[in-house]
Structures are given as structure tokens and as C-alpha cells.
Amino acid sequence: MVSRVPFYTTVAILIITGLSLAMMRHLQLGIPFWPGEQKQAWLIEARVDFVSFDQPVLASLKLPHNPPGFTLLNEVAASPGYGFAIIEHDGQRRGEWSKNQANGQQTLYYKAQLIPDKNTLETTTEPRPLARQVLWSDAEAIAASDILTQARSKSSSAESLTRELLRLLRNPEPGQNTALLLTNHSIASALDKLLNQAGIPTRVSVGLYLEDARRRQGLTQMVEIYTDDRWLAFDPQTGFQGLPENLLLWQRGGDSLLDVVGGQNSRVSFSMIEQTLPSIELAQSQFAGQGLSWLGVHTLPIEEQSMFKLLFLLPLGAMVVVFMRIIIGLKTSGTFMPILIALAFLQTSLGLGLISFISIVAMGLIIRTWLSRLNLLLVSRIATLVVLVVFLVSLLSLVGYQLGFSTGMTITFFPMIIIAWTIERMSILWEEEGPKEVLIQGGGSLLVAVFAYLIMQLPLSGHLTFNFPELNLVILAVIMLMGQYTGYKLSELRRFRAMLEQR
């Protein structure tokens, strides 16, 4: 007896490989398992306005760089007549517009598409920053050290010190010391200076609260402190610690947000809208060329992709045929003819496909009866049928077109050679076994084709087979398993029922 162990091992390996590859690609590349899954994305537009008088212009805007909690999907700059470049330097990104001669009101746009992404972790590769030297006026210096002493007495770490300082600075009834500091400083810059004086490295970042359909959204200053090898953000206005989910850190520390050389009255304003994008498109553009993405067929030109789309459906159709024949026991004319018909149905739509297929085969059968009288050799008879089928199909298309069915042309998707062979087989079957067998086998083929079509046209099947081609390994395993099925076919339960009755 042949050992079944290698067989089942192979099947198990196929299933595990298929499923785990699919799972990995799902997790790593974010390809969704369900078609039509939507993801939230933000389209943010930064608009730079300034006036220039016949001067060479260089405008430089700080751009977001790996903002925590977001992934930059794409960015464009639209400004007529300007050259644009993105310059990366010291972990900072700036967009630079330049023009030789600009006159009058100038408007520059920068658009970025970002998707919220909780997995974007803060990466601090930079060396540990140092606290800056702080300069106060004499009176301020005394007030500052008083406040610091007061805050230190109630805190144990950099984090709690910051919280305590914020509480003091935001006190609605400020004491003398805080009032003094806040006359010349904003809460943010006062906090920044106090912390540096306490020896805690900080930076002042600029964030943008994302709210749908907001125009001229103001920027929010955030104070970040460096402690325990990471940056912690505080909102000096609200006193909250940490980054709110809808806050995009546009600029982190560093120099100015906007520099315009050769222009005046420059300002930058932000507007934004929330978008929903199909996750599948996001996954494609976001992870192109990363990790396991080479396994997908998205890298191919569109034309090849659409071919693969059909090709990857074939295993599913083959599985349906195997199931129908082995488990159900349906008779079909030609083993895999039903898949080809089903593929044709995918192009023509079911109703039209069925009508045209049946009418072509019926007409072909009539012609074939006449052909059989001519006593032709087999090959030439089939070839004659092929030519006649081509004529029939063209005729049907033309008639359909004249009748106003724009879909008339799609009949040409039927595989002519297969149809010719089907007609030949059906005709022989008719002569030898009678019309009943023709109906059984022809009907069986059509039934299987319709089933295969119904399964293949499901958006989920198309989506899964195309985006996770490795799932076809699972289909392969199922087909192999069915090849080892030794139980009864459903049709045999009827075929042999008389034997049980007689007992």
C-alpha cells in the first residue's frame, strides 16, 4: 500500500504556504482581504502667499518629515512658472520654489496626502540633544528661578516637571512671577526657556489639527521634551501630554516654517479635507517595491495585469469543475470546456453569453448534420466547422449590433476552436447516444460553466486571486485532496438507490 504521508504533507505545506504568504502580505503591505475596503486619508494643502516686485524669488517651506502617527502617501507642488525641489538636510525637509523674476501677488501650493498609521513609530537616530543656554532679562531670571524651584519641589522627573510648569504657567490667576514671564513670552516659549534652564532638552514643534473641510487652519505650537531617549510632546495651550490622534506635526524644532527671499508679506495657510480611498490603492502606492510586494503582479504593466486577472481565476474554475465532476458527478462534454465558457461569460455577461452560446452551438449542430453527408476527413471537417463558427459569430454580432445590442460584439470572446469541437462532439453524441445524452452532457457543461462563472464573478474571488495569487496554492491543495476522494458521488446515490430498495 502506498503511503499517504508524503501526499498529505505536500497538501499541508501548500495550504500553510499559501495562507501564511497571504497573511504576511496582508500584514506587511496592508493589502485588504475584502474588496472595496476604504481607508481614511487626509489631503492637506499649504498655500504660500507673498508679493514680489520684479525680483528673483526663493521661497522655502518646511515640509513634514516622518510625522508620527501618519504616513506620507504622496506630495505635489503646483506653482506656475516656479521651479520646485525638495531638499533634505539634517533630518529636515524643505520644499524650495524658485523663479528668476516674479512680479505682483504670488501664490504657491504644496499638497500632501497622508494616511493615519499607528504603526509609524518615532525613530530617534539622532544623537542625544543638549539643553540650550537661556537668556532672560534680570527681572525675568529671578522670576524664572523662583518658578523652577516651586515646580521642582513638586516633581520628580523631567516629565512631571514639565507638567508642573505647565500647570503654573496656565494658572488662570497667575502669580507675580508667571505674570512677569508671560508679558513678554507666549506660554510655549516661556515653557521652552524654563525647561532648558532646568537642563531638559526641548524643541518647539508646529502641529496642524486635522479637521475635515477646514480652511485656513491655524498652527498649534507643541513643546517637546527629550527624556528617556524619546521625545514627549506637550500642548502648552491645553496642557495635555502626548500627541492627539488628529494632530499632524508639520515641523519639528529646527528653523523657521517659511522663508521667502525676494518677497514681502509672506504667509502660509493650511486647508485640508478628509478623503476615503480604497485600501487596495493605498497599499499599492504606499508599499511599492517593499518587502513581499514583488510577489504581486501590480508591478506589471496594466495590460499584462488584466490578463493575469483572468489567468488567476482559472484555478478557481478548475476547482469548480473538479468538484462538480468528482463530488457531484455531473457529466460534462470535454473536461475543462466549462471553464473556457465561464471565462467567456465573464466578458459577455451571463444572460447574453448563454443565449449566444446556445444559439451558436444549435446552429452549428444543424450545419454539422449537413456536413456529415459530405464524408469529409475529420480534421478538415473540424476546420470547416471552425470557419463556419467564425462566420456564425460574426453574423450574430452584426445582427446584435443592428438590433441595438451594443454588447453584440462581445460574442467574439467565445473560444472558436472550443465551440467547433463542442459541436463536433455533440453531433457524434447525438448520432450514437441520442439527443437525451446531448442534453445531459451539454446541460451539465453549461451548468458547471454557470456555477464556475457565478463563483468567478464574485468581487471577492477576483480580489483575492488577483491580490493574493499565493492563495491559488490553497486551491491547488483542495484540488489535490479531491483527487484522493474515494467516497460516492452525489449522482451515485441516485444511481445505486435501486440496489438498496431491492434488498
Partner 1 sequence: MRWASPFKLYKAGILGMNCRNVDFIGRYNLRRFYPLVDDKLKTKLLAEEYGVATPALISVVRTQHEISHVEERLMALQSFAIKPSRGSGGKGILVITGRRDDYFVKSSGTEITLEDIKRHLTNTLAGLYSLRGNPDVAIIEDLIEFDDTFEGYSYEGVPDIRIIVFRGYPVMAMLRLATHSSDGKANLHQGAVGVGLDIATGRSLKAVQFAVPIERHPDTGKPLIDMEIPDWENMLLLASRCYEMSNLGYIGTDIVLDKSRGAQLLELNARPGLSIQVANGRGLLPRLRHIERIRKPHKTAEERVAYAMQTFSASGL
Can you give the binding site for partner 1, defined by CB under 8 A?
2, 326, 329, 375, 377-379, 428, 432-433, 483-489, 492-503
Select 295 or 328, whichever has its Cβ closest to partner 1: 328
Distance of closest approach, residue 437 Cβ to partner 1, in angstroms: 9
Measure the CA–CA gap between 378 and 424, rounded to whole angstroms.
Answer: 10
Select 4 or 215, whichever has its Cβ closest to partner 1: 4
Measure the CA–CA gap between 187 and 166, rounded to whole angstroms.
Answer: 8
Distance of closest approach, residue 321 Cβ to partner 1, in angstroms: 15
Distance of closest approach, residue 472 Cβ to partner 1, in angstroms: 24
Sign (positive/negative) of CA torsion 271, 275, 279, 285?
Answer: negative
Select 133 or 375, whichever has its Cβ closest to partner 1: 375
The residues, any chain, with a CB within 8 Å of residue 275's CB and separated by 6 or more, are 40, 41, 42, 43, 113
DSSP-assigned beta bridge partners for residue 220: 207
Distance of closest approach, residue 433 Cβ to partner 1, in angstroms: 7
Distance of closest approach, residue 418 Cβ to partner 1, in angstroms: 14
Select 131 or 327, whichever has its Cβ closest to partner 1: 327
Distance of closest approach, residue 389 Cβ to partner 1, in angstroms: 17
DSSP-assigned beta bridge partners for residue 63: 93
Select 126 or 431, whichever has its Cβ closest to partner 1: 431
Select 135 or 374, whichever has its Cβ closest to partner 1: 374
Distance of closest approach, residue 488 Cβ to partner 1, in angstroms: 4
Select 2 or 213, whichever has its Cβ closest to partner 1: 2
Owner of C-alpha cell 491547488: 476
Distance of closest approach, residue 316 Cβ to partner 1, in angstroms: 22
Helix (H) / strand (E) containing 367 = helix 350-373
Helix (H) / strand (E) containing 12 = helix 5-29
What's the grid cell of residue 184?
Answer: 513678554
Select 135 or 500, whichever has its Cβ closest to partner 1: 500
Measure the CA–CA gap between 208 and 431, rounded to whole angstroms.
Answer: 80
| Residue 277 backbone phi and psi in degrees, to 5 | -120, 145
What's the grid cell of residue 492?
Answer: 451515485
Measure the CA–CA gap between 461 and 455, rounded to whole angstroms.
Answer: 7
